[in-house]
Structure 1
């Protein structure tokens, strides 16, 4: 099982976006500590009301991960996650291919359908079209990354005999899809290399407009369903499964280490391949201390 560090998000209206530390320094420290990857989320236009009630700001994940690529050599670079309908598919594909090319093939494109209506309004995207737009993105990405001429008629664009470079290093860039719904799980089984579910109480799932997954047993059943559906469709490749480990005491990694190891072992038994952990965005010093201690405790 692999571990990915989520760059700490800043909650509220007033706090500094980089209070957890410079992205390059954090990425290099995560790599040194033994983490498999670094991830960032995406909120290009969060509402002031949401931020005031505990929501978070984010850096642009593609720009920030491109910066992290220059500070590291092996660290995988994840969007966790980018909202597919927010972007024209060609701009999304170009950004992903660029990060993959510049990093030497270390990019993982995590995508979701989105849930925050105010952001859809701010970006001029019809929230009711989000699933149709998501499927267009999934159609266009491999065509764009092929580096060969193609045409595609979308709802709001008409691409005629276009050709896009650079080709990414990876063929394909791994696409991991977020969301718990049957539609999201079907997309994973048919068209993606990884699944990013949200596990937690019903109020959490309601907030992001997705099906609730309240236990590891439920999650394990859904993982098996996805892999069986993929196998029935003739797929033989591995589908990764991401899990966000939210136990707050992990912020002090050396405390309750045996309990955390036992919990992580159960998570792995459920079929998880990648665990996301983070720490409070208190200070650069606190971030570096967390990474070093977590690495010594769990990754060495």
Structure 2
């Protein structure tokens, strides 16, 4: 199991956001990303919302840093950690827009993009962006197939029920031969989408038992990732509870986990990162510390 990090600061989700994050900005975010990179964490995440109604923000949060801008900056101050959108809402974008923008991110980061995608559920935001809400699942399937066809070439071709194009140049394109795609969701349809069109499944708002039961309904391809979130961990304050949670995630089927940490300051957060790495290594998690001689 690899361990990544749900970045603090970039999302103000009421149940998990902590007081120190309110006054934090790009300097603190870079400090966290550099520390995670040096310790060998697998990835960091950033979510996407364009505009959230005020009443909805009280539940979902209203602060969402743009993942493309955020990752573009962090790519310049890190060396090997991956950048995972969690998630990019497919219905908000034309597939070639995603291929161009995130293909460019893959270029500038040296092939460190993981594209996490989802169908989306906030109808008010779809309406604001003049994006169709009804039928968004089928449209997302076609969009994902179209994006995959465009990532690996500067002259993509795709003919599907919603998107069709050829005879175009889209440069730069991704440098990875196959950009990993993690499909988010909490239904069996989302899992089927992930198996058919993606490289991993990233469920949310499900218990470990529900995840195990869902995974038992399909044959997962070789190399397919199951990406599970940890909830808030306190490695320094509750090492035994942290180990139990990591063991539970692995038993639920996780090949990758995205960790969240409780902290009182950015310095405390960085200390928690180091302690989590030590604890996770004792239960078989994988880390690849960045070589000190990299630029």
Identify the residue that residue 224 of structure 2 maps to in structure 1. 239
Identify the residue that residue 5 of structure 1 maps to in structure 2. 5
**Counterpart-to-counterpart distance in 1, 2:138 and 2:168:** 22
Shift in CA distance, 282/58, structure 1 to aligned 2, threshold 3 Å: farther
- Tell me how far 1:56 sits from its aligned partner: 3.5
**Counterpart-to-counterpart distance in 1, 2:56 and 2:103:** 32
Contact 1:20 1:284 in 2 (8 A): no
Taking structure 2 as the reference length, what is the TM-score of the superposition?
0.83
Q: Secondary structure at the match of 2:216?
A: helix
**Unmatched tracts of structure 1, length 5 or more:** 200-212
Identify the residue that residue 47 of structure 1 maps to in structure 2. 53
Identify the residue that residue 106 of structure 1 maps to in structure 2. 112
Shift in CA distance, 260/164, structure 1 to aligned 2, threshold 3 Å: same
**Unmatched tracts of structure 2, length 5 or more:** 15-20, 283-295
**Counterpart-to-counterpart distance in 1, 2:161 and 2:55:** 32
The Cα offsets for residues 247-285 of structure 1, whole Å up to 9 and x where unpaired, read as: x4x2x3222212321231132122211111123586433
- Tell me how far 1:297 sits from its aligned partner: 3.8
Q: Secondary structure at the match of 1:128?
A: coil
After TM superposition, the structure 1 = structure 2 runs for residues 1-300 of structure 1, keeping only pairs within 5 Å, are 1-8=1-8, 9-11=11-13, 16=22, 18-19=24-25, 21-53=27-59, 55-147=61-153, 149-152=155-158, 159-199=165-205, 213-214=206-207, 216-226=208-218, 228=219, 230=220, 235=221, 237-246=222-231, 248=232, 250=233, 252-279=234-261, 283-299=265-281
Contact 1:97 1:168 in 2 (8 A): yes
The Cα offsets for residues 213-257 of structure 1, whole Å up to 9 and x where unpaired, read as: 33x23312322333x1x5xxxx5x3110011111x4x2x322221
- Tell me how far 1:180 sits from its aligned partner: 2.0
- Tell me how far 1:155 sits from its aligned partner: 6.6
- Name the Cα RMSD after superposition: 2.6
The Cα offsets for residues 153-178 of structure 1, whole Å up to 9 and x where unpaired, read as: 56776534113222322121001000
**Counterpart-to-counterpart distance in 2, 1:19 and 1:89:** 31
Q: Say which is worse superposed, 138-147 or 173-182, in terms of deviation.
A: 138-147
Give the aligned length: 275
**Counterpart-to-counterpart distance in 2, 1:296 and 1:257:** 10
Contact 1:34 1:299 in 2 (8 A): no
The Cα offsets for residues 182-205 of structure 1, whole Å up to 9 and x where unpaired, read as: 221111111110000114xxxxxx
**Counterpart-to-counterpart distance in 1, 2:163 and 2:228:** 35
Q: Secondary structure at the match of 2:272?
A: helix
